[in-house]
Chains A and B, each alone.
Chain A
């Protein structure tokens, strides 16, 4: 069978629970070997989409293909090709590391030899150094998360779905986890990652922004930024004694398209460069001004505002 370059193909997918539409006619495709980010607030439909892709949920309508297999017709074959790490910690706390992995492997009917080899490989991959006889309950949170990843990778899946893998873990562990995700992609795996940390999404080759069940943008982070902000984005930093009222008045200026507080700074978007030069000339010296490249957060906020308008 000829392989297409697509690991995941979704056409016009909808999922409805009674009257509630969780996923509303979305279409997208993920290339083989890509790190694909799925972004959105809680309840945007990310987990529902992942559950359909892993064969845990039957879509209300639309077509889903995983590695050229139809998800509805070949659910079991699909399950053999994908690894899924759920948002919730799914290993058994009262079993040891070894028992958990052996159990996960036995459900996939891996041979003893394969289990031993994969466990060794994965332990060195995630840098797991605890004794395998440790009960999972006794492991630190970040290590547990890495063990859950190892369990999802035991059968050497082509495509790995990670649902909020870094929710609630320490920043250092988050960074480490993304390092593992990049290494997996280098090894040829397709990674489908949901997150609501926008800074993490910068690690993805392409991202899809989801809002209320629909995809409102899909592209690489750089192109998303370029497409959303054709004008320069400015940052105003008030220094000590800067008059707050000036910023407040700025907000009322019709020439200012957007003014967004970021901590004590403000991100300002002004569409007309001439108007901006006038404002800059009037700006008190206690403010510092520079041009910045937009973050994904800026992109997300602007896109969501554009949706509302």
Chain B
């Protein structure tokens, strides 16, 4: 009756926890609401794709060549070209955010082109919005290629032609970039917060005393308490995966088994982090705050989910090395978009395993020390 580890005790802990989840509107709202809200938010509301950017064109040349150049921009689905209204200056349009860029063709463009002299076209961009502007510039390069071809007769061939081709995500579709990372964010936040709350709640209500006055073992408490959340968060991962594939048409080019391994590594790591927070804080309100700071912020900002790690200051780049979401974002994108194999993912998977062992070890130790007399 008092001996070793009993799965049945862990199972009845789990049954009790499932009842708590089903009867607590707050937990349910988080578990069901967060993935859906994040999906709508990042999938639909936020769109990093540049489409139909308004460009104002000031054609001061009025030749066939200048008109053809401008129509090239117009025919691309990235830009919508409007002529500069009479009496307005180009910078005024930029200041008033009527446009993101102004294209100026100076008089003599057609003549110089016809004569085979080098020609210049000026593009004024709104540098205040550097994300859009950066994208315009990269599209602009493509259009320049096209322009050379169309108007090439008189243009000297560039000695070196740089041709950019985007691998893995040829259309630079931002859904492809964001959605695989979204699973990481939702998993990270949900699992940390829910576990941080669940153990803190037992301390707060005093029911931990009841548990500990029985012969139940710490490991049974932990497995029983965490199993339902593991299942719950795993279900949201499946939901996000299906949404990514069916709704957003994101490809999955790697091995599903590797993805499963990554998910389990990352998920248990997050649960352990939540447990550690719970043990250290013992209060639900504090646990939520610590979860947000240690879970949500790094996952959103430092994982490379949206902001590229390469463009962070050195200190933060170093910091991301010990952040699990950073490694799982890498694994996730590698598997969805690049078809990366185990060899390519050795570093991120290895780091995830290492961090997982450290976090699980630390949290179990802390929990055992906390509950054992």
Give chain A's interface residues, CB within 8 Å of chain B: 54-58, 75-77, 79-80, 82, 84, 86, 88-95, 99, 102-104, 106-109, 151
Q: Determine which residue in A57, A77, A106, A107 has the highest number of CB atoms from chain B within 10 A of its CB, and name it.
A: A107
User: Which residues of chain B (1-29) have a CB below 8 Å from chain A?
Assistant: 1-2, 6, 8-9, 12-13, 15-16, 19-20, 23-24
Known: A54-B213, A55-B373, A94-B19. A106 touches B8 (CB 8 A): yes
Known: A56-B373, A99-B19. A76 touches B209 (CB 8 A): no
Nearest-CB distance from A22 to chain B (Å)? Answer: 14
Q: Is the CB of A79 within 8 A of B16?
A: no
Q: How far is the CA of A289 from the CA of B211 in the complex (A)?
A: 55
Nearest-CB distance from A143 to chain B (Å)? Answer: 18
Q: Is the CB of B210 within 8 A of A57?
A: no
The 4 closest A-B pairs by CB, nearest first: A88-B206, A106-B12, A90-B210, A84-B213
B284-305 vs A, CB cutoff 8 Å, 1 = contact: the mask equals 0000000000000000000000
B318 at the interface (CB under 8 A from A): no
Which residues of A are found within 8 Å of B20, using beta-carbon distances? 92, 94-95
Which residues of B are found within 8 Å of A89, using beta-carbon distances? 205-206
Select which of A91, A94, A106 is within 8 A of B23 by beta carbon: A94
B89 at the interface (CB under 8 A from A): no
Which residues of B are found within 8 Å of A91, using beta-carbon distances? 207, 210
Q: Is the CB of A80 within 8 A of B1?
A: yes
Which residues of A are found within 8 Å of B24, using beta-carbon distances? 94
Which residues of B are found within 8 Å of A77, using beta-carbon distances? 2
Known: A55-B373, A56-B373. A107 touches B214 (CB 8 A): yes
Q: Is the CB of B206 within 8 A of A104?
A: no
Known: A76-B215, A104-B214, A106-B8. A86 touches B206 (CB 8 A): yes
B93-109 vs A, CB cutoff 8 Å, 1 = contact: the mask equals 00000000000000000
**A-B contact list, 10 entries, CB within 8 Å:** A75-B373, A76-B215, A79-B213, A82-B213, A86-B210, A90-B207, A95-B23, A103-B15, A106-B12, A108-B215
Nearest-CB distance from A113 to chain B (Å)? Answer: 15
User: Which residues of chain B (191-238) have a CB below 8 Å from chain A?
Assistant: 205-207, 209-216
Q: Is the CB of A95 within 8 A of B211?
A: no
Nearest-CB distance from B19 to chain A (Å)? Answer: 6
Q: Is the CB of A57 within 8 A of B213?
A: no
Q: Is the CB of B215 within 8 A of A103?
A: no
Q: Is the CB of A79 within 8 A of B207?
A: no
Known: A76-B2, A99-B16, A109-B8. A90 touches B373 (CB 8 A): no
Known: A80-B215, A94-B19. A58 touches B2 (CB 8 A): no
Q: Which residue of A lies closest to B207 (CB)?
A: A90
Q: Which residue of B lies closest to A75 (CB)?
A: B373
Select which of A57, A58, A80, A92 is within 8 A of B207 by beta carbon: A92
Nearest-CB distance from B181 to chain A (Å)? Answer: 35
Q: Is the CB of B9 within 8 A of A56?
A: no
Nearest-CB distance from B339 to chain A (Å)? Answer: 47
Give chain B's interface residues, CB within 8 Å of chain A: 1-2, 6, 8-9, 12-13, 15-16, 19-20, 23-24, 205-207, 209-216, 373
Q: Is the CB of A90 within 8 A of B206?
A: yes
Which residues of A are found within 8 Å of B209, using beta-carbon distances? 56, 84, 86, 88, 90
Q: Is the CB of B19 within 8 A of A108?
A: no
Select which of A56, A92, A95 is within 8 A of B212 by beta carbon: A56
Select which of A55, A88, A103 is within 8 A of B12 by beta carbon: A103
Known A55-B373, A57-B373; 14 more pairs at CB < 8 Å:
A56-B212, A76-B2, A80-B1, A94-B20, A95-B19, A103-B12, A104-B214, A106-B8, A107-B9, A107-B214, A107-B215, A108-B1, A109-B215, A151-B210
Q: How far is the CA of A56 from the CA of B208 in the complex (A)?
A: 11
Q: Which residue of A lies closest to B9 (CB)?
A: A107
Q: Is the CB of B16 within 8 A of A80?
A: no
Q: Is the CB of B373 within 8 A of A103?
A: no
Q: Is the CB of B373 within 8 A of A107?
A: no
Which residues of A are found within 8 Å of B2, using beta-carbon distances? 76-77, 79-80
Which residues of B are found within 8 Å of A151, using beta-carbon distances? 210
Q: Which residue of A lies closest to B216 (CB)?
A: A107
Q: Is the CB of B9 within 8 A of A106?
A: yes
Q: How far is the CA of A91 from the CA of B16 in the complex (A)?
A: 12
Q: How far is the CA of A108 from the CA of B210 in the complex (A)?
A: 11
Q: Is the CB of B214 within 8 A of A108?
A: yes
Q: Is the CB of A58 within 8 A of B373?
A: yes
Q: How far is the CA of A67 from the CA of B152 in the complex (A)?
A: 101
Nearest-CB distance from A231 to chain B (Å)? Answer: 45
Nearest-CB distance from A287 to chain B (Å)? Answer: 50
Q: Is the CB of A107 within 8 A of B19?
A: no
Q: Which residue of B lies closest to A99 (CB)?
A: B19
Which residues of B are found within 8 Å of A82, using beta-carbon distances? 213
Which residues of B are found within 8 Å of A58, using beta-carbon distances? 373
Q: How far is the CA of A102 from the CA of B215 in the complex (A)?
A: 15
Which residues of A are found within 8 Å of B19, using beta-carbon distances? 94-95, 99
Which residues of B are found within 8 Å of A86, using beta-carbon distances? 206, 209-210, 213
Nearest-CB distance from A46 to chain B (Å)? Answer: 15
Q: How far is the CA of A82 from the CA of B213 in the complex (A)?
A: 8
Q: Is the CB of A92 within 8 A of B16?
A: yes
